[in-house]
Structure 1
Amino acid sequence: MSQNLDFQALAKIPFAAATSLTGALTKQVAAFVTEAQGYSLAAFQSNLALIQKLASVKNVDELVNVQTEHARTSYEASIAWSKKVGELAADLSSQAVKTVLVSPQSASVSVKVPSVGKRLQATE
């Protein structure tokens, strides 16, 4: 059984997909890092403000109110941040899928698999 594989043409598909995916991945990772830095800074500032408020508390009711308000705002901030990170992850996965999938019309390489005898093409 003859093998009809053009290895140079076959190697071009994953290389092009990998380089395109790497660019999208780098951009999305930078967005993740930016979001994480922003959230960390905001959380640090919020905790610093909490310590300053706790230092000026004069009774237990005020202490409970300050802690409750801090817990509420911290929870809301963490939920908002997790939504942003979820959106970034969804964008990253959609970019990865778009990058890897090649439409059959633009597929320039046809590969004959010797054991199966069928031609493989990328599908949408």
Structure 2
Amino acid sequence: MINFDSTSKMSKEAMDSMLTTVSSMTKGFQQIAAEATDYSRKSYEDSTAVVEKLTSAKSLDKAIEIQTDYAKNAYETFVAQATKMSELYADMAKEAYKPFEKAAAKVSA
């Protein structure tokens, strides 16, 4: 009977760990999706504004200046966004691993 109780307790702990992991991953994916949506919206708005500026440019030099500024800004924004997304993925992985880390500590103790 003691063996059944300990097996039942371990199964419950494993299920709790799995549910905690799934919950944290769901939250992480929601954050990532929201961040990607915001970035896409901002990127679209920026490119639309640049097209408007380009159509109103009075000279080729001005058009090249507008395009150069846009390319520089788009690159910097992309690098910042990629860094932020990688941090979100890393945080999500850490949160998802925490319940298993606790379980492994219990087993090794």
Q: Normalising by structure 1, what TM-score?
A: 0.75
8 Å CA contact 1:50–1:70 kept in 2: the answer is yes
Q: Distance in 2 between matches of 1:50 and 1:77?
A: 15
| Identity fraction in percent | 25
Q: Which has more helix, going by share of residues?
A: 2
Which structure has the larger Rg over C-alpha atoms?
A: 1
Number of the residue aligned with 1:77: 77
Q: Closer, same or farther in 2 for the Cα pair 1:52/1:68, shift >3 Å? A: same
Unaligned stretches of 5+ in structure 2?
A: none
Q: Distance in 2 between matches of 1:16 and 1:92?
A: 18
Structure 1 runs of 4+ off > 2 angstroms? 4-14
Number of the residue aligned with 2:96: 96
Per the TM alignment, residue 37 of structure 1 is displaced from its structure 2 partner at its CA by 0.9
Unaligned stretches of 5+ in structure 1?
A: 108-120
Q: Normalising by structure 2, what TM-score?
A: 0.84
User: Secondary structure at the residue paired with 2:102?
Assistant: coil
Q: Closer, same or farther in 2 for the Cα pair 1:104/1:50, shift >3 Å? A: closer
Q: Give the paired residue count.
A: 106
Number of the residue aligned with 1:24: 24
Residues 35-54 of structure 1: CA distance to partner in whole angstroms, max 9, x if unpaired? 01110110000010011011
Per the TM alignment, residue 8 of structure 1 is displaced from its structure 2 partner at its CA by 3.3
Could you tell me which amino acid in structure 2 is paired with residue 18 of structure 1?
M
Q: Distance in 2 between matches of 1:95 and 1:72?
A: 35
